[in-house]
Amino acid sequence: MTASTSSNKNPAVLAADPDWWRGAVIYQIYPRSYLDSNGDGIGDLPGITTKLPYIAELGADAIWISPFMKSPMDDFGYDVSDYEDVDPMFGTLDDFKELVEKAHAQGLRVLIDLVISHTSDQHAWFKESRQDRTNPKADWYVWADAKDDGNPPNNWLSVFGGSSWQWDTRRNQYYLHNFLRSQPDLNFHNEEVQEAVLNAARFWLDIGVDGFRLDTANFYFHDKELRSNPGRKPEEESVSTPKTNPYGYQVHVYDKTRPENIAFLTKLRAVMDEYKDTTMVGEIGADEDPHQIIADYTAGHDRLHMAYSFDLLAGDQTAAHIREKVSNLEATINDGWASWAMSNHDVIRVVSRLGAGFEKREASSVLLAVVASLRGSPCLYQGEELGFEEANVAFEDLQDPYGIEFWPNFKGRDGCRTPMAWETTAPNGGFSTGKPWLPVDARHLANAVSVQENDPASALHRARTFLKWRRQHPALIKGDMKFLQLESDVLGFTRTLGEDSVLCVFNLSDQEKTVSLTGQGVTEALEGHGFEFAMDGKVITLPAWQAGFLKLDA
């Protein structure tokens, strides 16, 4: 099968559209925790396949599946040991092919995580590379001699704690690992490495995937001279680095976001362009000027299609916070494109970041509508449509090496990774007939899919109603955006595409708000989106945690 003839997409369902990804609703699946089909306590690919109708009914346009390639699972799949196979715990390659075929039949595109900045130390490439300094893959990873005093070559730190250099007795050298020591970094300065990972992408594109979420897309290259990073004591905790982690005490100018990254992304984009209607969204983990980096990485038509922003993955999600973060990126991004998310597999679930005293069930629905109304492509994380809170995971149940390392001040990522709750009366919430790899949270059981299916006012029904209504308004998918300055706790902006212009207003508080829209060109209130508000002339009244959508003069 070649790129030019590869076609596992169902043309009757998936109309040809090279621009489909702009504004597409992407539903993120963490496969370990979605649905277990064989009772081993770990979610798998056949489990996902059985739930594709649920995802299509939700109103998603695509799914993004977190890593399922072969791996020793030190970092739960983000440590790949074979780029061209499925880990047996998730099923087989045939299972994945069936998933792609059935997703396309449901009208869903399929994106998968491509983790190429590093591999597992169990990958055949690294096993060969570490044997000596002369083998064919000796330069496939980042190796360096010790300083005269035996210390590592520079001060670079691992995201997961400690030095990012690990001594290896086979070569009597250090190797670089930006994450776990069992995740050695590939040497992208080597052209053979670049071609090898491009071939890995081709392998999955030939199967029929519609694109990739690129993990740590700005970590590919390192400074050839191995210069030490300058220091900086962080003033506040970031989404990716808690205050307890000294990684945030450096300005990471030499160990990531190097200028060579963009040149490689043009090569990867050229591969993507060999295949019809594909896309890639890059995760940009940058502490310094992230908006400019996102703009640079998505500029033109030869780099990333879109970049995954961390701006809304931290903070309390107030109207002021969202307006500031999004408007700052909008002012920078020019012809680039963002992908917005408020929750994912690495951060505390959004409703648990709101603080005490808020009605989280109501808040979850309006926050989902916010992220799906911004200019960009929204990513919704499994359980977000159900209003799930961060799960409570006891220390003895923790699986995440990051959480174990920084306990108790930082509890890691397990709280957002616990299994989905499908049936409130079934064992383990219908996730598995065996013992789940992480416990199912009791609060999730009370809000399981089966419960919400029978409640027309549930977060699930409101998510379905809104996402389907959104499809009727091209401005909410691909339109331009302009923020308004409204009452405190009220977020407002317009989306405009041609003759379609919509004013979006969100009350992000537990108090009723009255807002004057005089001078905004409002012609009528739009209906069918599932939210409640009252309109009297040019004045609207929004109950707590509600939203309004209004038609504007073109």
158-201, pLDDT tens digit by residue? 999 999 999 999 999 999 999 999 999 999 999 999 999 999 99
- What's the confidence (pLDDT) of residue 365? 97
Q: pLDDT band at 237, cuts 50/70/90?
A: low
Burial class (CB in 10 A: 0-12, 13-18, 19+), 17: exposed
Q: Whole-number mean pLDDT of the chain? A: 94
pLDDT at res. 1: 32
Q: According to the model, what pLDDT value does residue 6 have?
A: 41
Catalytic residue among 19, 84, 273, 274: 274
**pLDDT recorded at residue 101:** 98
Closest Cα partner for 184 from 134, 127, 258?
127
The answer on pLDDT for 130 being more than 60 is yes
Active site residue 185: no
Amino acid at 154: N
Residues 6+ apart with CB under 8 A from 343: 313, 349, 350, 380, 381, 383, 384, 416
SS (H, E, C) 64-119: EECCCEECCCCCCCCCCCEEEEECCCCCCHHHHHHHHHHHHHCCCEEEEEECCCEC
Strand partners, 62: 26, 109
Q: What is the pLDDT of residues 39-51, one digit of tens each?
A: 999 999 999 999 9
Residue 406 has pLDDT above 90, yes or no: no
Instruction: Please give the helix or strand (H or E) that residue 549 lies within, else none.
Output: strand 547-552
Set 36, 215, 384, 500: catalytic member = 215
* Residue-level pLDDT at 292: 94
pLDDT digit string (tens) for 1-32? 333 334 455 555 788 899 999 999 999 999 99
Query: Do 298 and 306 meet the contact criterion of CB atoms below 8 Å apart?
Result: yes
Average of pLDDT values for 513-527? 92
**Strands 82-86 and 211-214: what pairing?**
unpaired
Identify whether 136 is preceded by a cis peptide bond (ω within 30 of 0): no
Is residue 527 flagged as an active site residue? no
Report the C-alpha gap between 243 and 248 in whole angstroms: 7
Q: For residue 48, what is the DSSP state?
A: H
Average pLDDT over residues 243-267: 94
Q: Rounded distance, CA 213 to CA 208, Å?
A: 15
Tens-digit pLDDT profile for residues 62-85: 999 999 999 999 999 999 999 999
Domains of the chain, CATH where assigned: 26-119+190-469 (3.20.20.80), 479-552 (2.60.40.1180)
- How many residues are recorded in the chain? 554
Q: What is the pLDDT of residue 213?
A: 98
